[in-house]
Chains A and B, each alone.
Chain A
Amino acid sequence: MKKILFAISLIVAFPLFGADPGARGPLPVTREEYNFGDTAFTPTNFPGPVELLASVHYPTGLPGGPYPLVVFLHGRHATCFTGRTGFLLWPCSSFSAPLQPIPSYRGYDYIAEVLASNGYIVVSISANGINARDNFVRDLGALARAELIQKHLDIWNGFNTVGGAPFGSKFVGKVDLTRVGTMGHSRGGEGVVRHFVLNQSLGSPYGIKAVFPLAPVDFNRPVINNVPIAVMLPYCDGDVADLQGVHFYDDARYNVAADTAAKDAIVVMGANHNFFNTIWTPGIFDAASADDWNAFVPGGRSDPHCGQVKGNARLTPDQHNSQFNGDTPPPPSATTDQIFLMFQAPAAARLDVNRLLSAGDLTTNTLGGAVAQAGITPYELCGGEAPEPAKCLPAERNSRQPHTTPSARSPKRGLSQLQAGWSSVSAFIDNGLPKGTRDVSAFRTLQFRASVNFGDARNAVGVPQNLTVVLSDRKNTVRVTVDTVSRSLFYPPGEKTHVPKLLLNTVRIPLRAFQNIDLTDIRSVRFEFDQTDSGALLISDIAFSN
């Protein structure tokens, strides 16, 4: 659960943190709440009223300011309890016996404190009323959650302008509503994405500067662009085990031209679904809490990777540009280095060599250059739009291939991937760069996404893959082997039920690693599969990038 410190780093793309954003900052912190009642708000067409209740962490005394605002929204969980027993209804007072509300909104206090100590106002809002009824709404509560966030932002607009109970004038002029970050966990994850869409549809009254879905559902497949988004994916998620939230990243990549925002997906090995919220964590709050992997996954307890909690897989924040593109290891507060990233730079900061979106990309790449291959079998696309097969591994469960897992409320397809295998060290795939596209000197890295295909017996179980990336200019050819710069070609661990998983993490190779090459005149990018006798990968998104 401590892992989540990093979650916030994305939200807060504002440069307030020190070297390790998981570390507590210099400011003392005060926590207060506001509560306008259990039935104070009814979202559109929602079958019942919900509460307006939130926990607020802020720098004590609010010196200076205005401060950026971060909004947290928890996910779906039991709503009421007595003793160790959970219940689902709202409000709790409507039950025949005394029940207390489960304070899911308090489950992120640990990171709210860290953020506030670094100069943020953090509002974690309660959504028990939505949880009690959202399964009977077509979108499973996404719009209701979005409207609840917007309602709280309206409340904060009031606190910031004219003040109001219970805070009086304390926050007047102290809240920068042009700099808002949102983090939503699970159904709250889709909620914050849906909220971005809602706020935009209202003329963007609030400046949403970053969106962080944590272990999110993506039932409806909303897509957002021109805002930094980072999706966190716990590898051992026992609830949203198909990691469907990866669609938020995949769907947004080429959705609009000239997208100004970077995108990240962060895979945390060994992390489960619930422990990011302390109120959902047994031993901290015992009513209705569970280790979702052990409790929900058939056979999950005995899995060699996920069957045990891997210490604190806590990732860290920020140093946004470096931490979130994978160029540097996570800071100490992450307490694990088993973190893998998918990263896409804004459109202006990259040159797409081959997006691998349709069959034509197998012969002519995104730049218009020729694509050639030898010894690659299969050499075909899967997972994207028809006629590609909907799944890359037809015999495997959806939860083992998140990029193509279906959505409950949308027919959208998944990530188009090149399925490639080799049985000879002479195999290669070559992407030519046509005239006019050969100057890549403005970029720092060559990158692509890949996953070791655990469904292909040419990969030795448990053994990482490797290949050579070759850049050629007019005169020279320079080689870099991937394992010297990246750990992303690991063999996906686990063997029970939902693991192993195909996750196409990003391999980033610094262009400085290609010595004695003319970066103003690159003629081709070649993958040579000469490091192992045989193997198979899923590949996408080949690009020069910053």
Chain B
Amino acid sequence: MRLNRVLIVAVCLLLASSLYASTLEDLLNMPGTVLGKGSNNLPVGQFGVKSYKVEELTLTEPVIVDGQTINAAKAWRVTINGGPFPVRDQAAVISVGGADLMPAREGTDLSVVATITFDQSMLTNGAVITLSYGEDTTVLPEKLTRN
């Protein structure tokens, strides 16, 4: 009887964890705390890149990535605006301080590209931010400045 209860609780917890898990897409859309934000409004390069925003996301549930569960308290969202950004077969990659983040996703209206990282070590003051498709790279006119 006691074992059954334990099993039921375990199953419920398992279900709850899968029901209440976030996806990377959720993280693209959830509110965040702005850690740094540029102000350039002049389009630069092939895709009219303008500026950036770095936000900290507080996670209250696990994140599912490729079927794997990531349990993290924080994540960081890096967004570049400008565009319209083409939806290409070559993936858009945002790099900060020379470190490539996971491929970025274009926003719904193609006016931003954004990605998520679970490691903030590269998000340092003065870091150079770039947007690349393969070897075609645009360097943002502003370096990262944290609040």
Contact = CB atoms under 8 A, between A and B. Distances in A.
A86 B88 contact: no
A420 interface: no
B135 A88 contact: no
A135 interface: yes
Contact of B23 (A47, A86, A217): A47
A138 B135 contact: no
Contacts of B104: 135
Contact of A399 (B67, B84, B134): B134
A427 interface: no
A290 interface: yes
A78 B86 CA distance: 8
Nearest to B104: A135
A68 interface: no
B119 interface: no
Interface stretch (A223-231, A236-244, A360-368): A236-244
Contact of A95 (B102, B108, B133): B108
Contacts of A75: 89
A438 interface: no
A241 B91 contact: no
Given A76-B87, A135-B104, A136-B24, A87 B134 contact: no
B95 to A, nearest CB: 14
B23 A296 contact: no
Contacts, number: 99
Given A45-B66, A45-B67, A47-B24, A87 B89 contact: no
A135 B134 contact: no
Nearest to A88: B106
A77 interface: yes
B91 A131 contact: no
Contacts of B91: 135, 140, 219, 408
Contacts of B102: 136
Interface residues of A, number: 45
A298 B24 contact: no
Contacts of A137: 66
B136 A135 contact: no
Nearest to A186: B89
Interface in A157-186: 186
B66 A399 contact: no
A217 B90 contact: yes
Interface string B25-46: 1000000000000000000011
B82 interface: no
A198 interface: no
Interface string B1-35: 00000000000000000000001110000000000
Contacts of A273: 89
B65 interface: yes
B135 A140 contact: no
Contact of B135 (A85, A242, A290): A242
Nearest to A95: B108
B89 A240 contact: yes
A398 B135 contact: yes
A162 B48 CA distance: 54
A297 interface: yes
Interface residues of B, number: 30
Contacts of A133: 25, 105
Nearest to B100: A408
A77 B109 CA distance: 13
Given A242-B135, A290-B86, A88 B108 contact: yes
Contacts of A87: 108-110
B89 A44 contact: no
Contacts of A10: none
A209 interface: no
Contact of B89 (A138, A187, A288, A498): A187
B109 A241 contact: no
A298 B136 contact: yes
A86 B134 contact: no
Central interface residue in B90, B105, B108, by most chain A CB within 10 Å: B90
Interface in A57-88: 75-79, 85-88
Nearest to A78: B87
B107 interface: yes
Contacts of A290: 86
A389 interface: no
Contacts of A85: 84, 109
Contact of B87 (A131, A136, A398): A131
A497 B136 CA distance: 9
B99 interface: no
B67 A44 contact: yes
Contacts of B65: 136, 138
B64 interface: yes
A136 B25 contact: yes
Contacts of B110: 78, 86-88
Interface in B104-121: 104-110
Contact of A241 (B45, B84, B87, B90): B90
A471 B89 CA distance: 46
Contact of B66 (A135, A138, A295): A138
A79 B86 CA distance: 11
Given A86-B84, A186-B89, A47 B64 contact: yes
B8 to A, nearest CB: 27
Contacts of A295: 46, 86
Given A88-B106, A137-B66, A140-B103, A239 B25 contact: no
Contacts of A78: 86-87, 110
B92 A135 contact: yes
A261 interface: no
Nearest to B92: A135
29 contacts: A47-B23, A47-B24, A47-B25, A48-B23, A75-B89, A78-B86, A78-B110, A87-B109, A88-B87, A88-B105, A88-B110, A133-B105, A135-B92, A135-B104, A136-B65, A136-B105, A138-B65, A215-B89, A217-B89, A239-B90, A241-B134, A241-B135, A242-B135, A288-B86, A290-B86, A297-B46, A399-B134, A399-B135, A408-B91
Given A290-B86, A292-B88, A408-B103, 9 more contacts: A131-B87, A136-B105, A140-B91, A140-B103, A215-B89, A241-B90, A241-B136, A288-B87, A298-B46
> Would you list the 5 A-B pairs with minimal beta carbon distance, nearest first?
A45-B67, A186-B89, A136-B24, A135-B103, A78-B87
